[in-house]
Amino acid sequence: MIVSPSVLALDYSNMETQVNELNESGAEWLHFDVMDGHFVPNLTFGPDILKAFCKMSPLVKDVHLMVSDPYFFSDVFAKAGADIITFHAEAERDYLKTVELARHIHALGCKAGISIKPLSDIEMLRPYLREFDVFLIMSVEPGFGGQPFLPASASRISTLRRWLDNSHPEALVEVDGGINRDTAKICLDAGADVLVAGSYVFKKNIRESVQSLCALAQ
């Protein structure tokens, strides 16, 4: 199981210390929530922040694009050092364009991910099971950290894991929103491979929080 701390919740007045703690925490990825103030009602960081993290951390840069123009921002964040670029199925509903963007992200040298909001039908992902490396299930409405986990996410995780086991077993199911020790257990039991956690990781000791999640998979 992979832990991907969301740096949306990082204390930017203490950035270097916290990134060093993340590097030693046992987390394998860092999750970057890119928000454009249009696809979601919030605005976060641009490529220069990702470049700074690339200088400070060897962890996998897991970029979550909550943007209305994933084509533009895929190029921007690939150039800034992203390893994984995930965009929302709701931002591009055309099948061919979605497949084309997945292949473009691969051509940029990144892994490609697709995400859906909690109220979107999980069937939206069915046509793309072989096209993406990561499938990001939002367990909160995207836009802000610190929201409670939506319990209906568990059945969505297990449905998606079952589909992938039959068609693309090496693909990863990532869950994002309201993850703590209790909800992490629910997600792992449902088949999640990657857990994104923001407020849970940064509100206390970073290493202890990450380790408390890693311990669930042992």
Alpha-carbon distance of 125 to 199, in angstroms, equals 28
**Among positions 21, 22, 34, 64, the unique one binding Zn ion when judged by CB under 5 A:** 64
Contact set for Zn ion, span 163-192 (CB under 5 A): 176
**Among positions 74, 111, 198, 214, the unique one binding ligand DX5 when judged by CB under 6 A:** 198
> Which does residue 161 touch among ligand DX5, Zn ion, none (CB within 5 to 8 A, set by kind)?
none
**Among positions 9, 105, 184, 192, the unique one binding ligand DX5 when judged by CB under 6 A:** 9
Residue nearest to ligand DX5 (CB): 198
For the chain, give the secondary structure using H, E and C.
CEEEEEHHHCCHHHHHHHHHHHHCCCCCEEEEEEEECCCCCCECCCHHHHHHHHHHCCCEEEEEEECCCHHHHHHHHHHCCCCEEEEEHHHCCCHHHHHHHHHHHHHCCCEEEEEECCCCCHHHHHHHCCCCCEEEEECCCCCCCCCCCCCCHHHHHHHHHHHHHHHCCCCEEEEECCCCHHHHHHHHHHCCCEEEECHHHHCCCHHHHHHHHHHHHC
Per-position x/- string for 135-164, each x denoting binding to ligand DX5 as judged by CB under 6 A, each - no binding: -----x-xxxxxx-----------------
Tell me which residue has tokens 């491979």.
193
Q: Is 182 a catalytic residue?
A: no
Q: Is 165 a catalytic residue?
A: no
> Which does residue 117 touch among ligand DX5, Zn ion, none (CB within 5 to 8 A, set by kind)?
none
Choosing from 36, 62, 133, 176, the catalytic residue is: 176
* Candidates 21-29, 58-66, 125-133, 204-212; binding stretch for Zn ion (CB under 5 A): 58-66
**Among positions 63, 177, 195, 206, the unique one binding ligand DX5 when judged by CB under 6 A:** 177
Q: Is 133 in the site for Zn ion (CB under 5 A)?
A: no
Judged by the rule CB under 5 A, the positions of this chain that interact with Zn ion are: 33, 64, 176
Enumerate the active-site residues.
Answer: 33, 176
